[in-house]
Each structure stands twice: as structure tokens, then as C-alpha cells.
Amino acid sequence: VTEVRVIPVTGVGEIRPGDDLAAILFEAAADLLEDRDVVVVAQKVVSKAEGRLAPASSHEETVLAESARVLRKSGSTIISETRHGLVCANAGVDRSNVQGNEISLLPLDPDLSARRLRARLERLTTKTIGVIVSDTFGRAWRRGQTNVAIGVAGIKPFNDYRGRKDSFGNDLSVTEICAADELAGTAELIMHKSDGICAAIVKGAPVSFGRGSAAQIIRPRSEDFFR
Amino acid sequence: VTEVRVIPVTGVGEIRPGDDLAAILFEAAADLLEDRDVVVVAQKVVSKAEGRLAPASSHEETVLAESARVLRKSGSTIISETRHGLVCANAGVDRSNVQGNEISLLPLDPDLSARRLRARLERLTTKTIGVIVSDTFGRAWRRGQTNVAIGVAGIKPFNDYRGRKDSFGNDLSVTEICAADELAGTAELIMHKSDGICAAIVKGAPVSFGRGSAAQIIRPRSEDFFR
């Protein structure tokens, strides 16, 4: 096992609807990108490039429109399930890091966003690249937020240890590590929103390259004890 | 912002009750440790050093004894809340990576375990060191497991953005990033249990050094929508 490195992508300016985000990231990170890197991109810039913005005055109705189901409501806090099956505050609708009269919505299909970014980045770099679109979510039971993967392309979201034995010959009780979420959290450490860093490159991460999606991470309602 | 590096600590053998874990980690990592590094240590070796082991035959009663409250039960899966307030499968009682006739229990006080490790490591290195004791937990709503911080010493668990503004002058809606959990997840990426790597060193992480604990991460029942 060698080390993992997490490197910020700097020099990306404000993104606006219609911007070619893959080309902008490539321009900012061309010297850094190597084969089998994972590029973690903040949801906010993906949403901006895709025009997923709404007037700030529509905040409340937009949250409800983006919610497939409201799970909990307390004061101004709404925890809802989005059409994607993501459980988060305000269905991912967010006022921060957008112009004052705007709010940002989650991408319509964050896995598709990730696949498109990956296809362009692989063509531009001629290298194998994984892409994660990440957002900052709260959790049950634990205070604070962490970044998770809402879009994945080019890597499997899980490191799967099913059937493996430990060094004592016992079955491993932990079977599926969600490496995509751990990578998203890793990248968040250097993607502080107030510093304008909207992407990070993770090198050396022990993930499996290949077909994968963030949709695989959504726990189906039928398997979920807490929905 | 500079890069974050995550480096595995190799060469730590099997840990048994009474072993001086801090000295063993120091011996394995002395050349790597620098000022303001964060050392992430797997719960399993902390529990072993502290003698938190029980006969495998007592698994079921040990899970119940370690549970302050059972939240959900389905077949052989028990989701419970431990005395520490942690919500996890089987109250953290685990058969993997221990000898076949043993099971491991969570440390009695993982924050105290972290503080003791930190005090010894700081004395041995004469450097400022943060320590996280991490374990692998499932989550609500999302498949797979990630590593989280169950013990913290020498760093604040949260990066607190309350009161900060983004570049547009908006209040930041995300206020408290749980950096400790993100660091635990980062370290997991290279702490695959089957490879016998029980600790990792994180360099360059933008965390606040100072007093902090994992107890701060526990969401009080009164604030928790999902317990």
C-alpha cells in the first residue's frame, strides 16, 4: 500500500450556466492529472454549469418541488428525500456560494453529470480518470456534515470484501466499504467552499476502476431501517 | 491550501492485551511523524491493547450488554446505541481480525484511549500530534460502511464555519464540517483490515489543533430526528 495524496485544483473562477466545466477543470489541472486519478468536483459548480439555479425568492417552493418526500420538518429545517433517493436538508437546495438573488439545485442526474465530465476529461487527458460529484450532507445520529458522493463515474463506489478472510481466517464482518463517500470526504478537507476551491484530485486511492454509479449507494427504502 | 497526504503505518504486528500500543506505533512510524500530523488508529488494535476482548461464545449476550438501547433488530442484525451514544451494528462487538475464539468490544472510553495515545506520542516525538480512534460503521439511507471517529484527542472534531461568509457575502449554510469523520474515512482508504495496517498518518489536514473529543460528535437524542 502506498500513500494517498489529495491535491486542490486552484484557479477555477466563477462558473456560470453553459460553461464547459470539463474544459475549465482540465485547463486548471492538466499538469496534475495522471492515470487512475480520481477527480472530486463540488456539486455547486456542476449545478451552475448545468444551469440548475432558481430565483432566491422561490426557495421554499423549490425545496418542496425538489423533494420526492419530506421525512422530517422542524422550524425552517426540512429533511427530505430527493427524486434521486438522496436524504438531505432542503432537498439539496442551497443559498451559499451563489449570487445573492439565486439558489442552486442538485443536478437532475448527478451520475450523468459525472459520466459526462469523465468522458471529456478522459478524452482531453487520454488517461483513465474517475469522477465523483460530491455534496455536503448531514447525517443521522452524528453532529456536523461530511461530503458524500452524489455522482460517480469510472470507479466502483464500493470496495467489496465479501467472501474475504482476515489473517485469522474469520469472515470479514465489514463487507462493503463505501470508498466513494470516503473519497468525497477526503476531498472536502481541502475544498473549503469559502476559498473557492471546487475540485480536488485524489492520487493513489485503492478503488476499483470500472463501471459504477452513485445510484448504487442509495439504500432502497425496503432495506432501510431509518426512513 | 496545500496537499493532504495519507501514509500507512506498516510493520505493526498482532497486538495483545497489555501491549504498549503508543510505543509500538512510535517504533513503526518514528521516521514519518512530523509536527501537526494526525494519527488515525483502528479501534480494533486499541481494544486489543486494552484487553477489550470476550469469548466468541458470548457474542449475543455481549452485544446486548454493550447496548444501552437496541434501536432496530432484523434477523441477526442489531442496530444499537452504545453507552457512548454511538449508533452502530452489534454495539461495535466484532468477530473479524481477532483470534477465532474471541470477539472485540469497543474501548470503554475511546476519547480517553485517544488522549492517552496522544500524550505518549507527543512525549515520544516531542511534536504536536492529533489522534483519532476510528471504527467502521454503517449509516442510515446509504449503503456500505465508512470509517468514523469514535475517539479524538488534540484536534477539534469540527471545522466551524459559523458566521463566515462566502465570496458573494452570503452566510455559509454548511456550518460545521466533521473533519474528524472525514479524516477517519480518509485513513480507512489505506487501512484495509485484511492487510494488517492498523494506523495511518494524515499530513497537511486543515484541522484545528487543540482540545476536542469524539463525544462532541454524538448528536444528543433531543436534537436527533432519527433515533
* Set of cell numbers at residue B171: 452566510
Of A1, A146, A176, the CB nearest to B190: A1
pLDDT of amino acid A98: 83
Distance CA A186, CA B183 (A): 7
Q: Shortest Cα distance from B23 to chain A (angstroms)? A: 23
Residues of A in contact with B95 (CB under 8 A): 170-171, 173
pLDDT of amino acid B114: 98
Best probe of the A interface among B2, B4, B198, by most A CBs < 10 A, is B4
pLDDT above 70: residue A177: yes
Distance CA A147, CA B204 (A): 18
Q: Shortest Cα distance from A106 to chain B (angstroms)? A: 15
pLDDT of amino acid A144: 95
Q: Shortest Cα distance from B165 to chain A (angstroms)? A: 7
pLDDT of amino acid B160: 85
- Partner-chain contact A226 B195, CB within 8 Å: no
Binning pLDDT at 50, 70 and 90, where does residue A74 land? confident
User: A103 and A59 in contact (C-beta within 8 Å)?
Assistant: yes
pLDDT of amino acid A105: 98
- Cα dihedral across residues B62, B67, B68, B74: positive or negative: negative
pLDDT above 80: residue A80: yes
Of A171, A179, A197, the CB nearest to B189: A179
Q: Which helix (H) or strand (E) holds B122?
A: helix B110-125
Of A146, A168, A206, the CB nearest to B189: A206
- Angle A215-A157-A197 from CA coordinates, rounded to 5°: 95
Residues of B in contact with A53 (CB under 8 A): none
Distance CA A124, CA B9 (A): 36
pLDDT of amino acid B147: 97
* Set of cell numbers at residue A37: 486519478
pLDDT of amino acid B196: 79
Residues of A in contact with B216 (CB under 8 A): 143
Q: Tens of pLDDT along chain B (227 residues)? A: 589 999 999 999 999 999 999 999 999 999 999 999 999 999 999 999 999 999 999 999 999 999 999 999 988 889 999 999 999 999 999 988 788 799 999 999 999 999 999 999 999 999 999 999 999 999 999 999 999 999 999 999 999 887 777 777 776 666 799 999 999 999 999 987 556 799 999 999 999 999 999 999 999 988 888 87
Residues of B in contact with A186 (CB under 8 A): 4, 6, 182, 185-186, 189
pLDDT of amino acid B217: 98
pLDDT of amino acid A196: 79
Burial (Cβ within 10 Å: 0-12, 13-18, ≥19) of residue B14: middle
Q: Which helix (H) or strand (E) holds A100?
A: none
Q: Using CA coordinates, name the residue in chain B closest to A103.
A: B170
Q: What single letter denotes the amino acid at residue B86?
A: L
Best probe of the A interface among B71, B73, B76, B177, by most A CBs < 10 A, is B177
- Cα dihedral across residues B51, B52, B56, B57: positive or negative: positive
Bridge partners (DSSP) listed for residue A88: A80
According to DSSP, residue B72 is labeled E
How far, CA to CA in Å, does B27 sit from each of A133, B10, B66, B75, B201?
Answer: 39, 10, 33, 44, 14
CB atoms within 10 A of CB A163: 8
Distance CA B214, CA B163 (A): 23
Residues of A in contact with B165 (CB under 8 A): 194
pLDDT of amino acid B21: 98
Residues of A in contact with B178 (CB under 8 A): 142-146
Share of chain A above pLDDT 70, in %: 96
* Set of cell numbers at residue A39: 477527480
Residues of B in contact with A206 (CB under 8 A): 189-190, 192
Of A5, A167, A182, the CB nearest to B185: A182
Of A7, A141, A189, the CB nearest to B205: A189
Of A5, A95, A157, the CB nearest to B170: A95
pTM: 0.95
Residues of B in contact with A205 (CB under 8 A): 189
DSSP helix, strand, coil percent of chain A (3-state; round to 5): 30, 30, 40
Best probe of the B interface among A6, A147, A161, A182, by most B CBs < 10 A, is A182
* Set of cell numbers at residue B210: 487543540
What strands lie across the sheet with A77-82, from one edge to the other?
A67-74, A77-82, A87-89
* Set of cell numbers at residue B29: 512510524
- Partner-chain contact B140 A166, CB within 8 Å: no
- Partner-chain contact A10 B3, CB within 8 Å: no
pLDDT above 60: residue A193: no
H helices present in B67-109, as ranges = none
**Predicted confidence (pLDDT) per residue in A1-11, tens digit:** 589 999 999 99
Q: Using CA coordinates, name the residue in chain A closest to B4.
A: A6
Residues of B in contact with A97 (CB under 8 A): 166-168, 170, 172
- Average pLDDT in the A154-179 region? 81
User: What three-state secondary structure class fits A84?
Assistant: coil
- Average pLDDT in the A67-89 region? 92
Distance CA A20, CA A14 (A): 12
Tell me the CB-side half-sphere exposure of residue A221, using CA atoms within 13 A: 10
**Predicted confidence (pLDDT) per residue in A194-225, tens digit:** 567 999 999 999 999 999 999 999 999 888 88
